[in-house]
């Protein structure tokens, strides 16, 4: 669920101990009664929703992570916008009339910004499709774009329904493991688990006792012998020790298990892009089951 929107009650002349004397004053309340015009996002997942819902000229800044195509589904939309690193000294001079942040990130910064009287909306990470609906609606309402938010939700649900309609009847759910950097995997209570189930797949990590996110030793992965092994696709040449677990030579022992590379940007954040992840996985499952892609 999305955290409650927090509006600071500090007076417009409030100061913070240790802050520079010339620190900018907060935006007067009367300037934010309509659609916010200087939106700042400090979190990758709030970036994605702001980029979908707000006009570019209303976006004062988004996080630097929004520009990374490996994890940001809307990296192209982010090009040309101002980037921030979630620091108060970056945000205050922008004089934002709405700030979006994640519940578990940039906490020190949001504390400072609240003390200066800024309006902040914090979002919890989405752990399922209901959370995606809720986050889109909350951000749409805060941006003054509620009708647009509803259209995005409608299209998201339509795409999921289309996947269900096209799924091969009577197909056994392929036993699937999603392997992430550092040998991590996800079980029930996670967005990835919801994506797998919507695609008609069986999350084998749940059978192995994983709840939420957990570590899966290589030996247990091999012994489980999944039908499908889903790993994050790499879109840039960035050598990383954390990603070596995705390409271990021991994976050859999985035999005829099919390996599927799926962009991490489709599941890193809960948003309408999750429907694309569902569609790709459902197609991969049908391809394995039938020996050919579905029409």
Looking at the structure, give the CATH architecture of the domain made up of residues 6-154.
Answer: 3-Layer(aba) Sandwich (3.40)
What is residue 152's predicted lDDT score, i.e. its pLDDT?
98
Q: Is the pLDDT of residue 22 over 60?
A: no
- pLDDT computed for residue 288 by the predictor: 59
Task: Say whether 171-290 and 6-154 share the same fold.
Answer: yes
Name the CATH superfamily housing domain 171-290: Nitrogenase molybdenum iron protein domain (3.40.50.1980)
The pLDDT confidence band at residue 181, using thresholds 50, 70 and 90, is confident
Distance from C-alpha of 193 to C-alpha of 209, rounded to nearest angstrom: 13
Output the average pLDDT for the chain. 84
| Domain ranges within the chain, ordered by starting residue | 6-154, 171-290
Report the share of the chain in percent with pLDDT over 70.
81
**Phi (first) and psi of residue 15, to 5 degrees:** -125, 160
Burial of 171 (0-12, 13-18, 19+ CB in 10 A): middle
> Which residues, other chains included, contact 83 with Cβ-Cβ below 8 Å and sequence gap of 6+?
61, 62, 63, 64, 66, 67
pLDDT score recorded for residue 238:
65
Are 162 and 42 within 8 A, CB to CB? no
Rounded alpha-carbon distances, angstroms, from residue 248 to 111, 170, 208, 262: 43, 34, 20, 17
Q: What is the pLDDT of residues 102-145, one digit of tens each?
A: 998 889 999 999 999 999 999 999 999 999 999 999 999 999 99
Q: What is the largest CA-CA distance in the chain?
A: 69
Structure tokens at 132: 């995606």
Would you say residue 194 has pLDDT above 80? yes
pLDDT of residue 20: 40
Q: What is the pLDDT of residues 197-218, one digit of tens each?
A: 999 999 999 888 888 888 988 8
Average pLDDT over residues 246-260: 77
**Weakest-pLDDT range from 68-72, 165-169, 270-274:** 165-169
């Amino acid at each position: 669920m999305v955290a409650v929107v927090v509006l600071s009650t500090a007076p417009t002349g409030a100061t913070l101990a240790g802050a520079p004397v010339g620190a900018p004053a907060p935006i007067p309340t009367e300037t934010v009664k309509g659609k916010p015009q200087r939106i700042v996002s400090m979190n990758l997942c709030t970036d994605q929703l702001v980029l979908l819902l707000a006009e570019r000229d209303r976006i004062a800044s988004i996080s630097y992570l929004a520009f990374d195509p490996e994890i940001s589904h809307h990296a192209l939309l982010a090009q040309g916008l101002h980037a921030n690193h979630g620091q108060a000294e970056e945000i205050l001079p922008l004089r934002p009339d709405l700030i979006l942040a994640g519940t578990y990130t940039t906490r020190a910064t949001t504390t400072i910004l609240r003390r200066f009287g800024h309006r902040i909306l914090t979002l919890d990470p989405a752990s399922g499709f209901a959370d995606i609906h809720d986050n889109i609606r909350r951000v749409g309402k805060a941006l003054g774009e509620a009708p647009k938010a509803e259209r995005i939700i409608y299209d998201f649900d339509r795409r999921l329904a289309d996947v269900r309609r096209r799924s091969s009847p009577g197909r056994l759910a392929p036993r699937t493991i999603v392997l992430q950097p550092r040998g991590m995997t996800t079980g029930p209570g996670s967005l990835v688990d919801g994506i797998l189930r919507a695609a008609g797949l069986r999350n084998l990590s749940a059978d192995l006792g994983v709840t939420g996110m957990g570590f899966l030793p290589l030996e247990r992965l091999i012994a489980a012998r999944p039908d499908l092994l889903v790993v994050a696709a790499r879109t840039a040449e960035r050598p990383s020790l954390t990603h070596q677990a995705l390409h271990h030579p021991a994976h050859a022992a999985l035999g005829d298990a099919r390996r599927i590379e799926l962009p991490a940007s489709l599941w890193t954040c809960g948003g309408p892009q999750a429907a694309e992840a569902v569609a790709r996985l459902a197609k991969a499952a049908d391809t394995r089951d039938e020996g050919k892609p579905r029409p």
